[in-house]
Amino acid sequence: MLEASKSDARPVVRILGTHGVPGAYGGFETAAEHVAKYLVKQGWRVIVYCQTGKDGTYSEDTWEGIERVNIGVESKNWLGTAKFDWLSINHACKYRDLCLTFGYNTGVFNFMQRLKGIPNVINMDGIEWSRKRWGVLRQAILYVNERFAALFGDHLIADHPEIHKYLLTRAPARKITTATYGAETFVVAPPTKPVTDLGLTPGEYFTLIARPIPENSILEIVQAYSEKPRGRPLVILGNYDEATDPYHAAIKAAASPEVKFVGAIYGETVGILRYHGIGYFHGHTVGGTNPSLVEALAAGNPVFAHDNPYNRWVAQDAAVFFKGKEDLSQLIEEVLQSSSRRRAMHLAAVRRYNEEFTWDHVAGVYETILRRFTGGPLSNTTHGKS
C-alpha cells in the first residue's frame, strides 16, 4: 500500500462500495469522486478502492491526490461487484483506518469492520430492495443486506429526508444523518455546438434522461407529450431496443414525431443538453435524492416531476408535479404558454441548487460525519443534519 510517512498526521478514510474514481458509472461513483476530492483539499488522506480490468490483478497509484487501490474483477454484474466488495473489505481491514462505504448491496460483508473494531460510515442509498426490476431473488438478497448494513454500520447516511425516516425503522436516530447528492454547474454558458449537432435549437427543446423502465414513468410522459403538437421536441437520451424489450417498444409506438430518441450520450454533452433545454421531465417514482433531478436543478431547468415525496422535497418550487399522463398533458400546455412561469421555475431551480446541492455543501456534510470518528476538529464550518 502507498504508505504515509510516520510524520503524516492527516486523518485517513478508505472509500469502498463504488467502481472507483474517476466516476464513470453512476451517482455513487460521482459522489465518491467529489467527496474524495473535497476531503483531499481539506487535508485528508483518501484511499479509494477501484474495480479494474483483468481478474486477479492488483496495483496502486494516485489520481488527483487520491490514492487508489486497483483490484481486478472483470465482471461488472452483481456477482462480480460482490466479489470486488469482498476483496476490497478484506484489504481495508488490514489497516485501522476509518471506512466510508457507498451502498449496502453487500452489507453482510461489513461484519469484518465490526469484528475488527474499524469504524464504518455507510451511505444507505434508496430503498433499493423495493425496486421490482431486480426480481424476487435479488430483492430478497438486497433486503437482507440492508438489515446487515444497518446493524454493522457505525453511522448511516440517508440521501433524502424520506430515506432518513425509513432508516429510523432500522437504526436509532443517533446513528443517522441526511446527506444528499450534489451536481456541478456551468460557471459560464457552455457551447451550443453539441446541441446544434443534434439538429436542435438552444432553448427550444425539453429533455428526459432516465433508465427506460416502468418505475420511471417514461411511457406516461411520452403519451402526454404526444397527445397534441407542442411546437418543440422532447429529446430522450438512452438506448431503446423495441425489438427485444416490450416496454421500449410501447414507448416508441406512443411517440409523436416531436419526440426525438438520440441514443446514449455521455460526459459533458449531457450537461450541455440540459443547460440549453427549456425544461426537464423526471418521472422517477421511487428512491431518495435522484442525481439526474439534482443535475436538472443545477442547469436551471424548470421540471415536470412525478408527484411523490422524494421529488417534491428535492425540486420544490422549481417543478410542477404530475400523477399521470392526463394531468401532465395539461401542465405541459400551461407551462409552455407562460414564459413568466418558466422564468420563475428557472430561478427557483437555481436557488434550490445553491442552497442544498452544491458539492462543497454535500461533501462538507460528509466531512462533518467522518470527523466524529477521527477525534479531530472540523476543517470548515459545515454541519450535518442528524
pLDDT at 127: 85
Q: What is the structure's pLDDT at 384?
A: 46
| Phi and psi torsions of 53, nearest 5° | -20, -110
- Interval 321-342: pLDDT, tens: 999 999 999 999 999 999 999 9
DSSP output for 227-288? TS--SSPEEEES---TTT-HHHHHHHHH--TTEEEEE---THHHHHHHHTSSEEEE---SSS
Peptide bond into 161 cis (omega under 30): no
Q: What is residue 189's three-state secondary structure?
A: coil
Q: Which of 192, 191, 161, 188 is nearest to 177 (CA)?
A: 161
CB 194 within 8 A of CB 267: no
pLDDT at 34 over 70: yes
* Stretch among 122-126, 229-233, 313-317 having the lowest mean pLDDT: 122-126
pLDDT band at 241 (very low <50, low <70, confident <90, very high): very high
Report how far residue 374's alpha carbon sits from residue 100's, in angstroms, rounded to the nearest whole number: 13
Pairwise CA distance, residues 141 & 138, whole Å: 5
Long-range CB contacts (< 8 A, 24+ apart) of 295-299?
295/183, 295/270, 295/271, 296/207, 296/349, 297/183, 297/349, 297/350, 297/352, 297/353, 297/357, 298/183, 298/184, 298/185, 298/353, 298/357, 299/185, 299/186, 299/271, 299/274, 299/275, 299/349
DSSP assignment string, 39-107: HHHTT-EEEEEEEESSTT-EEEEEETTEEEEEEE----SHHHHHHHHHHHHHHHTTS--EEEEE--TTG
What's the rounded mean pLDDT across residues 218-239? 97
Q: Please tell me the predicted confidence (pLDDT) of residue 130.
A: 82
Q: Mean per-residue pLDDT for 213-219?
A: 96
| Residues 47-68, mean pLDDT to the nearest whole number | 95
Among the residue ranges 31-35, 130-134, 196-200, the one predicted with the least confidence is 130-134
**Segment among 3-7, 181-185, 380-384 with least mean pLDDT:** 380-384
Give burial (CB, 10 Å; 0-12/13-18/19+) of 331. Answer: middle
pLDDT digits (tens, 9 = 90+) for 258-308: 999 999 998 899 999 999 999 999 999 988 999 999 999 999 999 999 999
Question: What whole-number distance in Å separates Cα of residue 165 and Cα of residue 178?
Answer: 10
pLDDT of residue 25: 57
pLDDT for the residue numbered 4: 57
Nearest residue to 281 via CA among 268, 266, 292, 265: 292
Over residues 175-214, the pLDDT tens digits come to: 999 999 999 999 899 999 999 999 999 999 999 999 999 9
Q: For residue 1, name the pLDDT band (cuts at 50, 70, 90).
A: low
For residue 26, pLDDT beyond 80: no
Percent of the chain with pLDDT strictly greater than 90: 86
- Identify the band that residue 381 occupies on the pLDDT scale cut at 50, 70 and 90: very low
- To 5 degrees, how large is the angle CA 183–CA 189–CA 193? 105
pLDDT value at 379 more than 90: no
Residue 112 is predicted with a pLDDT of 97
Residue 350: pLDDT over 60? yes
Q: Among residues 295, 288, 348, 361, which one has the least CA distance to residue 320?
A: 348
Q: What is the mean pLDDT of residues 41-66?
A: 95
364 bridge partner residues? none
Interatomic CA distance for residues 18 and 268, integer angstroms: 21
Model's pTM, two decimal places?
A: 0.92
Q: What is the mean pLDDT of residues 346-358?
A: 98
Q: In this predicted model, what pLDDT tens digit does every residue of 89-114 receive, in sequence order?
A: 999 999 999 999 999 999 999 999 99
Which residue segments constitute the domains of the chain, with CATH numbers given?
A: 12-182+358-371 (3.40.50.2000), 193-356 (3.40.50.2000)
pLDDT exceeds cutoff 90 at 315: yes
Backbone torsions φ then ψ of 385, nearest 5 degrees: -115, 90
The pLDDT of residue 224 = 98
Question: How high does pLDDT run on average in the chain?
Answer: 93
80 alpha carbon, distance to own chain's centre: 21
56-62, Cβ contacts within 8 angstroms, sequence gap of 24 or more: 60/1, 60/2, 62/2
Q: Would the pLDDT of 383 be above 50?
A: no
